Amino acid sequence: MTGNETIIKELRAALENEPRVRMHHNAIHITLSDGALTVEGEVDSIAVKRVALAQAGAFNGVHRTIDLLRIAPAEHKGDGAVRDALGRFLLGEGAFLDCAIQAQNRDSTVVLRDPGPQSRGSVSLKVHDGVVTLQGSVGSLSHRRLAGVLAWWTPGCRDVVNELEVTPVENDHDDEILDALRLVLEKDPLVHADQIRADAHDGVVTLHGLLATGEERKMAELDAWYLLGVRDVINRIEVRQ
């Protein structure tokens, strides 16, 4: 057995022993070449994707991880429908009222909003095979994270590549993650944000609280996973009996 085959075998074993990944349910394919590990397939949640990638990146002999994992959407939508829906989300979000919003459609660009000289940033979005790419510049890390979460919330989205820059540059830390998480939970109509507490340490978010249903508990955890910079989520939210 070659060194690459050994690493792949050990990684698959680690993923099979990780209850959040559920390898029997999620089709994850792994290849390794010259230290570059490619992880691809379709999984059922952002949590599975993040945990699998974290496991892969931690293995000795892996110098780079190529992420080709996609999320199986609850609703299958064409790229145009995903692009239009996300455009409406961004236009309706007060945090981006002063931002120029553009949508790239194949070889053309559609201007959705042009605030003119008072513009305080720009967001350009494109969608290919359900993968949303965000480009441009925004005024804070919270804006960058919020744009990414809105993309994840868009029906039909299979992955998000968030290339937005923050101008001026801000230092990221746990408090920034918690600020963005509070903002996202308050905007999510599916959860009661006032019943959720959170703390973070080195990018690991722990959720506490008491919610009415297991589904609401799950949605709160997914909202945390959607945030850039979150390395893991520990869900200690209880469900009312």
- Beta-bridge partners for 43: 71
Of the residues 138, 166, 194, the one at which a domain ends: 166
Q: What is the CATH number of the domain that holds 223?
A: 3.30.1340
**Element containing residue 174 per DSSP (H, E):** helix 174-187
pLDDT of residue 26: 87
Is the domain of 85 the same as that of 63? no
Condensed to tens digits (0 to 9), the pLDDT of residues 97-141 reads: 999 999 998 889 999 999 988 888 999 999 999 999 999 999 999
* 159 and 92 within one domain: yes
Q: What pLDDT band is residue 230 in, cutting at 50, 70 and 90?
A: very high
Confidence of residue 241 (pLDDT cuts 50, 70, 90): confident
Residue 173 tokens, joined: 């830390």
Chain centroid to Cα 220, Å, comes to 13
Indicate whether 87 and 159 sit together in one domain: yes
Same domain, 150 and 216: no
| Residue where a domain terminates, one of 118, 136, 166 | 166
Residue 125 shares a structural domain with residue 84: yes
Is pLDDT above 60 for 190? yes
pLDDT above 90 as % of the chain: 79
Residue with tokens 């340490």: 201
Q: What is the pLDDT of residues 40-97, one digit of tens each?
A: 999 999 999 999 999 988 888 888 999 999 999 988 999 999 999 999 999 999 999 9
Predicted confidence at residue 198, as pLDDT, reads 98
Same structural domain, 58 and 85: no
Q: What would the mean pLDDT of 209-230 be, rounded to a whole number? A: 97
Place 1 in a pLDDT band, splitting at 50, 70 and 90.
low
Q: Could you tell me the residue range of the domain that residue 17 belongs to?
A: 3-71
Strands 100-105 and 165-166: unpaired
Do 66 and 101 reside in the same domain of the chain? no
- Structural domain tally of the chain? 3
Q: Please count the other Cβ atoms lying within 10 Å of the Cβ belonging to residue 23.
A: 17
Find the mean pLDDT for residues 184-204.
Answer: 97
- 133 burial (CB, 10 Å; 0-12 / 13-18 / 19+) is middle
Of 140, 166, 192, the position where a domain reaches its end is: 166
Domain CATH for 31: 3.30.1340.30
81: left (phi over 0), alpha (psi -120 to 50) or beta: alpha
Residue type, 213: T
Residues 158 and 179 in one domain: no
Asked if residue 153 and residue 105 are part of one domain, the reply reads yes
Alpha-carbon distances of 82 from 69, 76, 95, rounded to whole Å: 18, 9, 21
| Side chain identity at residue 203, one-letter code | G
Same domain, 213 and 143: no
Same domain for 162 and 178?
A: no
Question: Are 75 and 156 a contacting pair, CB within 8 Å?
Answer: yes
Banded pLDDT at 175 (limits 50, 70, 90): very high
- Considering only CA atoms, which of 36, 121, 28 is closest in space to residue 70? 28
Query: Tens digits of per-residue pLDDT, 17-30?
Result: 999 998 888 889 99
Clarify whether residues 96 and 141 are in a common domain. yes
Confidence of residue 185 (pLDDT cuts 50, 70, 90): very high
Summary mean pLDDT of the chain? 94
pLDDT number for residue 4? 85
CA distances to 39, 95, 223 from 23, rounded to whole Å, are: 13, 39, 23
Q: What is the per-residue pLDDT for 118? A: 83
